[in-house]
Amino acid sequence: MEWTFTGLFIISALMLVVSILKSTRAAKAQHTQIDQIHISIMEEINTLQKSIRNIELDQEVLMKEAGLQLSLEEKLFMREVLDLYDRKYSIESIAEMKNVSSSTIQELLAPYQAMKDEGRKVANEN
């Protein structure tokens, strides 16, 4: 009887050690996998940041070539107005939100409306 208990105790101790080793290996594998995912995500983020910076530089070059000198506040205002217009807000509601006249918003959006209308005309001519 004592040998049986001793044998069972030794077997359970061995199984405990094997279980701990397996769980440690699995944890290391998961940690390695998480590290690889983290590295790939960081590389993607860096690539996106470079792309954004290139777009910003391109925009700056285009604005200088076109002779436009807008302040930061004017750029932000224009961006917000265009965003609202692209989301199908009416010119009157945009003017109300921004506390400016409808004619001011209409003047700001005129070049962008002309581009959209030209695209529709070409598509409808066929």
| Alpha helices by DSSP H, the chain | 2-66, 72-86, 91-98, 102-125
76/39 same-domain check? no
Look up the domain containing 12 and give its range. Answer: 1-68
The confidence score (pLDDT) of residue 95 equals 92
| Alpha helices by DSSP H, 67-90 | 72-86
pLDDT in tens, 8-18: 999 999 999 99
pLDDT in tens, 70-122: 787 888 888 899 889 989 899 999 999 999 998 999 988 887 776 555 555 55
57/4 same-domain check? yes
The residue out of 20, 37, 68 marking a domain boundary is: 68
| Number of compact structural domains in the chain | 2
75/54 same-domain check? no
Tokens of 12: 């359970």
1/62 same-domain check? yes
The confidence score (pLDDT) of residue 118 equals 52
Taking residues 36-61, report their average pLDDT. Answer: 93
82/96 same-domain check? yes
